[in-house]
């Protein structure tokens, strides 16, 4: 037995403890409801708690309002495909950043328009240009050929395309930040002055803003990039341009973990295990980016930085408080002085604690090494991002009394016929081995983990996406299939 406790965090003693919300625990405690959900919707199930999403949106708004800034928040739709989140974004008074034709089409159908949508797709088709131009939705242009395409299609439609120019190549601490996207900051003023002036052949374009999106998570780099763009806008507007917004993209850090100590301890143990060739932490001794080369530890942790002291609203504040090296004024002061609208495109951080992924145990087995493998009714693409592993402890919901009270270490495996379909590369310690039919909950998966790499290989069904508006006392009818959202 488990001392009357029906659910438990994996790695009960330490591990990597995720920050959770009361709504998650209310659900974990209701095994009858969980069983009903799996009977109706199968496994895996993604659940999105819209009140949490709305609350995070409000906290971001409060930051900008505390600085008395003009602003617009665009939820980065690529982080999660659920339509309910788009509808909630509009209902909460923010916009949506779209990166494909289907994202744009769906967002328009759900109530989007030129005031609350933006198109930032890395590859833009004729259909995307046409739809955005017809609906007066701003298009962020990445290169000269995109500029020509937007102008030609706008001319065919007898309309003007509202555009922003993506800028990159910022110099921070004497080092130029490389990006495959955007116009070089050192050349873009001359380009805009030449190609988008009143006498240019591109009269079907209306330049309204600048845009950048930096790789990595440095507030200093973002602060410097914003400062450089503000200097550029000041110069361009002095030449009779009318730039009204600057969009600093996304990449706003979030914090997943309760304890910084657990995070630093994990990385220390991982490095020691790789160095000593006694890796007892991960499946098949995966160093998660660390490796031994010529007797020396090389590499770095190739995962998301799951613990961050500066995150969300404090991250934004650091960018706004960055001081312009020329004027000594902060970015926030410069924005007010220039009467510019600041735009951001958060995805992951805006979805903080909004979602969980639930799956059923399908089988248990021991491999040739004696390791316990617990197979779940899901596959690795249904909880995958660019991070080398998802470093949060899951929760196990035991349905009945257990076979023993002997603790066990397990790895969770998925349904693809691939050796590498291991859902978490970290070993998870449990108070007892789960049974077939028990449930596993992965928390805080709404941002990029649920859908970004999900496939239908083997003709598996895609995961079911449900949304929830209730704060508590959940019943089956509170959970609505996202496909029903209109």
| Opening angle at CA 371, ends 367 and 374, nearest 5 | 85
Gap between the Cα atoms of 56 and 193, Å rounded: 40
**What's the average pLDDT block by block, 10 residues per block, for the chain (486 residues)?**
67 93 96 96 97 98 98 98 98 98 98 98 98 98 98 98 98 95 97 92 97 96 97 96 97 97 96 85 93 94 97 98 91 97 98 98 96 96 94 95 78 93 96 96 98 92 94 92 90
Residues 463 and 439 in one domain: yes
**DSSP result, 171-198:** EETTEE---SSSEETTTHHHHHHHHSST
Q: Specify whether 247 is located in the same domain as 287.
A: no
What are the distances in angstroms from CA 42 to CA 360, 419, 437, 462?
Answer: 9, 24, 12, 11
Q: What is the pLDDT of residues 312-353, one digit of tens each?
A: 999 999 999 999 888 899 999 999 999 999 999 999 999 999
Please tell me whether residues 333 and 288 are part of one structural domain.
no
Distances, alpha carbon 207 to alpha carbons 183, 240, 245, 363, in Å: 14, 12, 10, 58
The terminus-to-terminus CA distance of the chain in angstroms comes to: 46
Q: Which residues of 59-74 are buried (b: 16+ CB within 10 A; e: fewer)?
A: ebbebbeebebebbbb
Provide the angle, in degrees to the nearest 10, between the axes of the packed helices 50-66 and 313-320. 20
**pLDDT for res 1:** 32
CA angle 66, 68, 73 (to 5 degrees): 80
* Verdict on whether the full-model pTM lies above 0.85: yes
Q: What is the dihedral of CA 292, 295, 297, 302, to 10 degrees?
A: -20
| Overall number of domains in the chain | 3
Are 196 and 337 found together in one domain? yes
Give the domain CATH number at 232: 3.20.20.10
**Mean of the per-residue pLDDT values for the chain?**
95
CA distance 120 to 175: 26
Write out the DSSP string of 6-65. -EEESSSSSS-PBP--HHHHHHHT-HHHHHHHHHHH-S-EEEEEHHHHHHHHHHHHHHHH
Torsion of CA 133, 135, 136, 142, to 10 degrees: -50
Q: Which residues contact 253 (CB under 8 A, 6 or more apart)?
A: 217, 305, 308, 310, 311, 312, 315, 349
Q: Is the same domain home to 185 and 103?
A: yes
pLDDT of residue 485: 85
Q: Is the same domain home to 224 and 332?
A: yes
Digit-coded pLDDT (tens) for 368-425: 999 999 999 999 999 999 999 999 999 999 988 655 678 999 999 999 999 899 999 9
Residue 285 inside a domain? The answer is yes
Do 167 and 19 share a structural domain?
no
What tokens appear for 338 in the block? 């220039």
> Looking at the domain assignment, is residue 227 inside a domain?
yes
- My answer on whether 471 and 384 are in the same domain is yes
State the Cα–Cα distance between residues 422 and 144, nearest whole angstrom: 43
CATH of the domain at 372: 2.40.37.10
Residue 462 to residue 422: CA distance in whole angstroms: 18
**In-domain check, residue 64:** no
Distance between CA atoms of residues 356 and 450, nearest Å: 9
Of the candidates 466, 486, 485, the residue with the CA atom closest to the CA atom of residue 477: 466
| Helix or strand run (H / E) with residue 247 | strand 245-247
Could you give the CA distance from residue 137 to residue 160 in angstroms, rounded to a whole number? Answer: 11
The two tokens of residue 303 are 């995962």
Cis peptide before 449 (omega within 30 of 0): no
Residue 67 falls inside a structural domain: no
Task: Determine the Cα–Cα distance for residues 79 and 91; give it in Å rounded to an integer.
Answer: 19
Are 268 and 338 within one domain? no
Q: Say if residues 346 and 60 touch (Cβ distance below 8 Å).
A: yes
CA dihedral of residues 395, 444, 384, 452 (deg, nearest 10): 150
Contact in structure between 13 and 402 (CB atoms under 8 Å):
no
Q: Is residue 420 part of a domain?
A: yes
Domain match, 334 and 397 both: no
Specify whether 472 is located in the same domain as 325. no
Residues 179 and 246 reside in one and the same domain: yes
Is residue 63 domain-resident?
no
Q: Out of 234, 268, 299, pick the residue that ends a domain.
A: 299
Task: Return d(Cα 84, Cα 39) in angstroms, integer.
Answer: 22
pLDDT at 3: 39
Token pair for 41: 């919707």
In a domain, residue 71? The reply is: no
pLDDT at 2: 39
Residue 386 in any domain: the answer is yes
Q: What is the pLDDT of residue 358?
A: 98
User: Could you list the residue range(s) of the whole structural domain that residue 380 is in?
Assistant: 7-49+353-484
What are the C-alpha distances in Å from 251 to residues 217, 279, 315?
Answer: 6, 32, 10
Q: Residue for token digits 């980016």?
A: 289
């Amino acid at each position: 037995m488990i001392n009357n406790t029906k659910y438990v965090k994996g790695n009960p003693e330490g591990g990597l403890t995720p920050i959770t919300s009361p709504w998650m625990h209310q659900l974990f405690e209701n095994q009858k409801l969980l069983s009903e959900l799996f009977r109706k919707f199968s496994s895996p199930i993604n659940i999105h708690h819209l009140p949490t999403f709305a609350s995070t949106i409000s906290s971001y708004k409060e930051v900008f309002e505390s600085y008395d800034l003009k602003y617009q928040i665009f939820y980065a739709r690529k982080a999660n495909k659920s339509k309910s989140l788009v509808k909630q974004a509009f209902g909460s008074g923010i916009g949506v950043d779209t990166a494909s034709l289907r994202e744009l089409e769906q967002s328009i159908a759900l109530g989007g328009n030129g005031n609350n949508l933006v198109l930032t797709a890395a590859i833009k088709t004729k259909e995307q240009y046409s739809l955005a131009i017809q609906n007066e939705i701003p298009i962020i242009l990445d290169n000269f050929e995109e500029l020509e395409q937007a102008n030609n299609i706008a001319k065919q439609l007898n309309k003007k395309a509202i555009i922003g120019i993506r800028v990159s190549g910022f110099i921070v601490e004497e080092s130029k930040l490389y990006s495959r996207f955007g116009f070089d900051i050192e050349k873009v003023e001359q380009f805009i002055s030449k190609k988008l002036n009143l006498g240019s052949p591109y009269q079907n374009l209306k330049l309204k803003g600048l845009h950048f999106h930096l790789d990595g998570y440095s507030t200093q780099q973002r602060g410097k990039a914003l400062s450089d763009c503000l200097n550029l806008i000041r110069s361009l507007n002095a030449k009779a341009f009318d730039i009204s917004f600057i969009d600093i993209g996304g990449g706003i850090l979030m914090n997943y973990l309760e304890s910084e100590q657990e995070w630093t301890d994990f990385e220390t143990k991982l490095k020691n295990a790789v160095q000593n060739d006694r890796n007892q932490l991960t499946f098949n001794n995966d160093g998660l980016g660390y490796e031994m080369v010529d007797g020396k530890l090389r590499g770095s942790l190739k995962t998301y930085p799951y613990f961050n002291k500066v995150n969300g609203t404090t991250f934004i504040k650091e960018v706004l408080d960055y001081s312009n090296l020329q004027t000594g004024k902060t970015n926030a002061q410069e924005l007010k002085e220039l009467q510019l609208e600041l735009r951001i495109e958060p995805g992951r951080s805006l979805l903080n604690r909004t979602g969980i992924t639930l799956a059923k145990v399908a089988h248990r087995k021991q491999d040739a090494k004696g390791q316990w493998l617990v197979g779940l009714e899901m596959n690795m693409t249904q909880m995958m991002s660019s991070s080398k592993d998802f470093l949060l402890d899951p929760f196990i919901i035991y349905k009945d009394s257990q076979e023993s009270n002997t603790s066990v270490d397990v790895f969770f495996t998925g349904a693809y016929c691939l050796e590498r379909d291991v859902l978490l590369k970290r070993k998870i310690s449990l108070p007892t081995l789960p049974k077939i039919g028990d449930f596993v909950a992965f928390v805080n998966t709404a941002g990029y983990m649920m859908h970004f790499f999900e496939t239908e290989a083997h003709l598996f069904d895609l995961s079911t996406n449900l949304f929830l508006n209730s704060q508590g006392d959940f019943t089956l009818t509170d959970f609505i299939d996202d496909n029903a959202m209109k």
